[in-house]
Structure 1
Amino acid sequence: MCASGAVTRSTLRQQIADALRDEVLAGRLRPGREFTVKQIAEQYGVSTTPVREALFDLSAQGLLDSDQHRGFRVRGFTVADYRSMVEARTLVIDGVIRGLFCGPVLSVAQRDHLVSVRRRAQEAARAAQGGDLDILIGYDLRFWRELGALVDNTYISDFLHRLRVQAWVFAVPYLRHDVGAREWLWHGHPELVAAITLCDRDAVCAVMDDYNGHSLNWADRLAAGDPAHPGHDPEPAGQAPPAEEPQPRP
């Protein structure tokens, strides 16, 4: 019974964390939104223990700020924060690329893994070209997560995944309110997989330079007020987020 209870609580904790993370990623929980453990527990009809654990998990991932007296608040990211995220992931990925191509060819296991990554790349590119933001976020995060498995270093993969989630949280409010910005979405995922498959380090670097430059150029536009920020006004305090079913991730 004890073991079964531990598994159930752990699963519930993850389900709550995933549901709230999806709300933040989708922009339905805006920066500044405040809520307490009790409010979330009542909203989902569960005890406070798994909710508290889930909220602290999201705080550790940089998506929530916690206050001993006021509860939790959805973190807001600035353009400077976003630029720092891009610069940090660029430095890490540069090192990853050097490590990935330390040999003349990819291993059989790596090539087999790239088959599924290639499918994910095609799905992400289609979503980006179609301007389907909700689908793109899921496929993009999964693409980079699966691609990172080639390096076989969970510390690096987890760090990069956290940066990408935070970057999407920052970007979503802009993209939701600017249809033109959606036409700008990066969709070079298949080109990156093709370059990695061929072990073409120069081509990989070129795609990654385009990807990072694309992000930094957008940061420059945002810093200049083009497009203007759609608004990160805090939502009224004391209201728990709606207890919607988690949106399915691709």
Structure 2
Amino acid sequence: MAEGGTSPVRRSSLRQQIADALRDEVLTGRLQGGRHFTVKEIADTYGVSATPVREALVDLAAQGLLEVEQHRGFQVRRLTAEDFRSLTDAQVFVAEAAFRHLSEHGMGELAAADLASVRRRAVDAARAAQAGVLDVLIGCDLRFWRELVAMGGNPHISEFLDRMRAQTWIYAVPHLRALPDLAGVCWSDHVALVGAVEARDTETARRLTKEYHRHIRALMDKLAPARS
């Protein structure tokens, strides 16, 4: 796919398509932590020119999913157990602040109109967690939290939490895939959480968020006790 003559809109779309595809590869563990690659390698894989690939990789590095290696290319970020603990602590802090904001100020007009979409995301995420379909769960869970927090009308909070949750999944996925059966293993109270937020029940929303925090921390301590 040649880049010459491509309009800015089309090139931007290609850059986003490549970033989305690689993000999915990283989040689902198909590109594992520590994996090295070059711009040329990815460009050859997708059959595109180097420019949109380089831009997509820089975008993913800015999201904390990749690391730039001087004169070598890129590497999938390898997160430690300490990184994971710090990220989950930060997620609870940010989510609680978002829920307080929702309770005090209400939902933005667009977020309120999209409440049905958030409920659907919650149902899909809960079903995937209960069934143990990890690839589906990751996408549904990320979209659920992103849309839920966005109802407060502050896209920066939503984006910040999304980045932290994506990095948490990068750490957790390899350990989860080691289990023979994931049915019922992952947290699945998405529906209850969206109900609490809709009712502006901040205490219940905080409790459910802390339950998620305890659940994922205990699960990772069990699955990776000596892999720090």
Cα 1:63–1:107, aligned 2, differ >3 Å: closer, same or farther? Answer: closer
CA deviation after TM superposition for structure 1 residue 215, in Å: 2.1
* Structure 2 unmatched ranges of 5 or more: none
Q: For residue 118 of structure 1, what is the amino acid of its counterpart?
A: R
Tell me the residue number matched to 1:17: 19
Kept in 1, the 8 Å contact 2:172–2:220? The answer is: no
Q: For residue 48 of structure 1, what is the amino acid of its counterpart?
A: A
CA–CA distance in structure 2, aligned partners of residues 154 and 107 of structure 1:
11
CA–CA distance in structure 2, aligned partners of residues 151 and 48 of structure 1:
38
Tell me the residue number matched to 2:218: 217
CA–CA distance in structure 2, aligned partners of residues 3 and 38 of structure 1:
21
- TM-score, normalised with respect to structure 2: 0.90
Kept in 1, the 8 Å contact 2:84–2:171? The answer is: yes
Q: Which structure ranks higher in relative contact order (CA pairs < 8 Å, sequence separation ≥ 6)?
A: 1
C-alpha deviations, 1:122-153, integer Å up to 9, x for none?
A: 11101100001111111111111111111111
Kept in 2, the 8 Å contact 1:79–1:222? The answer is: no
Cα 1:3–1:41, aligned 2, differ >3 Å: closer, same or farther? Answer: closer
Q: For residue 191 of structure 2, what is the amino acid of its counterpart?
A: P
2:26 alignment partner, SS class:
helix
Cα 1:34–1:110, aligned 2, differ >3 Å: closer, same or farther? Answer: closer
> What does 1:63-212 align with in structure 2 at a 5 Å threshold?
63-102=65-104, 110-180=111-181, 182-212=183-213
Tell me the residue number matched to 1:30: 32
Residue 57 (structure 2) pairs with residue 55 (structure 1): yes
Larger radius of gyration: 1
- TM-score, normalised with respect to structure 1: 0.83
CA deviation after TM superposition for structure 1 residue 6, in Å: 0.9
Kept in 2, the 8 Å contact 1:82–1:219? The answer is: no
CA–CA distance in structure 2, aligned partners of residues 68 and 108 of structure 1:
45
CA deviation after TM superposition for structure 1 residue 71, in Å: 1.0
Tell me the residue number matched to 2:43: 41
CA–CA distance in structure 2, aligned partners of residues 150 and 75 of structure 1:
30
* Aligned-CA RMSD value: 2.2
C-alpha deviations, 1:205-232, integer Å up to 9, x for none?
A: 221121122122234334524xx79xxx
Task: Quote the sequence identity (%).
Answer: 51
* Structure 1 unmatched ranges of 5 or more: 230-250
1:151 alignment partner, SS class:
coil
- The aligned length equals 225
Cα 1:33–1:137, aligned 2, differ >3 Å: closer, same or farther? Answer: same
1:183 alignment partner, SS class:
coil
